[in-house]
Chains A and B, each alone.
Chain A
Amino acid sequence: MSMRPHSSRLTGSAFSAVVLLASTARGEDAVSPNSQVARPRLQIGSLLGIIDSNKLSVDGRNRGDEGDGWIAGGSAAYAHGLLPHFSLVLLTRIAGELTDWAQMRDEQRTRVDLALGPEFWWCAVTRPTTVVVRLSVPAGPTWTWFQGGEVGPVRERYSTGHGFNIAGVGGIDMMWKHHGISVELAYLRHFTYMTHEGTLVPDPTVEGSEEYRFDQSSLVFGIGYSYRF
């Protein structure tokens, strides 16, 4: 009989410990990444894209499409969490591009993008790997360099191209604590303005210039390394 209260206390203590442990565990789960501001993320990777169209207008007149082509290069991005599910992403891309036209003319083309935009994310899985799905719409300035050359009787030169880029990016990050892999698919649009100059090779006094405007759309696949602070 005298053991009963003691036994009862033991049982009660054990029960309390189990409840405490369980509630602690539940408490950890309850602090879901989806209810928190995302930790800053740094990302670096490579990209490969298919140019879907590259429409050109010369002095405001439509000159058709340069044809399909490829984009290959690298990118780096920094995302800073502002609110749960919402971050701000700053990214840069550097890539070479090759269209049918550029290939026929042996033109080397390089493009650099800088872009800033909102990023919406959702943490789909937390254990054992954190899997984050995100959508972003970065936009910003673009610089382009075309390397011209002697094309038939005309020597061609291009000014540095300026313009802007905008993209719709869907991505998945698989993170193991601080390190992870990112995979992205983006629909990327570039608007580029540049001056094209031509000089007649046999008579350099004959020259002229035109204003080029490129409207390029492409589908870009990217894969890279992510670091979460």
Chain B
Amino acid sequence: MWRIVPENRLGERVRPLTSQSRWAAFRSPVAWVALVVLVANDHFLKRAGLLPGSVTGKLSDLAGLVVAPVLACALIGARSPASRILGFAAVVLPFVAIKTVPVATHLVEALTRLVGLDWRLWTDPTDLVGLLALPFAWRLQADSAEVRAGKRATRVLERLGAMSAAVACVATSGPDPSSLHTAIGVVNLTREHIDLQVFRAKAPLACASVHAPPLVAGDFAPDRCHELVPYAIAPLDLDFWTKTYDQVEPPPGVEHRSCDAVLLRAEGLEDTVLFWNNVAQESFDDSDPVPLDHPNIAYLNRIGDRLFIGGPAVAESSAATFELPPSPCKVAP
């Protein structure tokens, strides 16, 4: 659309004094503080593990509910209270739906995936505490509605703030993906669930030899069971651990064995003994696809009704030469 740009007496074009800036809210220190908190929280605090995940999550919602409604109002050029309500509703209604209705959460995740964003959203009504930020956002937007366009530097600052807010809102990170730390794992490459039973050497083995010591049925005791879904990793070492927000170090007091042996049992699989000696733990992010040729992973796949195990390269794998009696299997949580 063409606009008439007034000129001053020298013939220079000037901005009309009455023009208002739709981005004026990003002149306020409150908006900038919220923006900095949002970015710092999403991209540093959550990863650093300095604060519990529940705290960083709420902090993100609080800061986000200042930045996002203000940005929405700026984008639609909201000046009147009615248009401001529209801008706020565009943010608040989806937020409330996501936090309270699981179907809405999944729908938004699916929609964002369609446009190449990998948002991870959680249905958690306690996150509605973030709505406490709305009065501040409303005040901020209302105060900025009548602010006149400023000087060039101010306008640059406003636009910089708006652009940063847009990027911060879109590139928000979910909680860091959790990662499994294990020395030896087993992955199900079949299309169905596998009930995998693990028997473990009752006592720590002598680790002097790199090869498995002679083992007999009496050396093993039932240890745990896994309901192994396709492409899930079941850790086999005793001191495996999962890194999350709240758990950034291996848990203390868990028994560590430099070398260990387990016997794996599943329907269609020949009882198989795995022995490993001095294998360092590897990290497997749950957001990454399971690698198909990792030396620390044993792979289960099916031919007809029979299951076969391949690998892991860093362990010795052999069919059991002894027979273990059946044992009840209670799937570990």
Seen from chain A, the residues whose Cβ lies within 8 Å of a Cβ on chain B are: 50, 56, 58, 63-64, 68, 101, 103-106, 151-154, 198-202, 206-210
Contacts and interface: CB of A to CB of B under 8 A. Distances in A.
B310 A152 contact: yes
A122 to B, nearest CB: 31
A153 B309 contact: yes
Nearest to B114: A50
A104 B302 contact: no
B191 A103 contact: no
A179 B331 CA distance: 65
A103 B289 contact: yes
Nearest to A59: B304
A120 to B, nearest CB: 31
A210 B292 contact: no
Given A56-B191, A104-B231, A153 B289 contact: no
Interface of B: 110, 114, 187, 189, 191-192, 231, 289-290, 292, 299-304, 306, 308-311
Given A153-B308, A154-B308, A198 B231 contact: no
Nearest to A198: B303
A105 B190 CA distance: 11
8 contacts: A63-B191, A64-B192, A103-B289, A152-B301, A153-B310, A154-B302, A198-B302, A206-B303
A208 B301 CA distance: 12
A153 B310 CA distance: 5
6 closest Cβ pairs, A-B complex: A153-B310, A152-B299, A208-B304, A198-B303, A152-B301, A208-B303
A68 B310 CA distance: 29
Given A207-B303, A210-B304, A151 B191 contact: no
A151 B303 contact: no
B289 A104 contact: yes
A207 B303 CA distance: 6
Contact of B292 (A64, A101, A106): A106
B292 A152 contact: yes
A104 B291 CA distance: 9
A98 to B, nearest CB: 13
Given A106-B292, A151-B189, A201-B310, 20 more contacts: A63-B191, A64-B192, A68-B110, A101-B191, A152-B292, A152-B308, A153-B308, A153-B309, A153-B310, A154-B301, A154-B302, A198-B302, A199-B303, A200-B308, A206-B303, A206-B306, A207-B303, A208-B303, A208-B304, A210-B304
A200 B110 CA distance: 38
A104 B188 CA distance: 12
Contact of B299 (A58, A153, A202, A206): A153
B304 A151 contact: no
Nearest to B298: A152
Contacts of B300: 152
A105 B308 CA distance: 17
Given A103-B289, A104-B290, A201-B310, A154 B192 contact: no
A210 B306 CA distance: 13
A178 B231 CA distance: 53
A50 B111 CA distance: 12
A154 B303 contact: yes
B256 to A, nearest CB: 28
Contacts of A210: 304
A142 to B, nearest CB: 22
Nearest to A152: B299
Nearest to B309: A153
Nearest to A203: B308
A153 B300 CA distance: 7
Nearest to A207: B303
B191 A153 contact: no
A177 B208 CA distance: 86
With a 10 A CB-CB cut-off, give which of A105, A151, A154, A201 has the most chain B CB atoms. A154
A207 B192 CA distance: 19
A202 B311 CA distance: 11
A152 B189 contact: yes
Nearest to B188: A152
A123 B45 CA distance: 60
B109 to A, nearest CB: 11
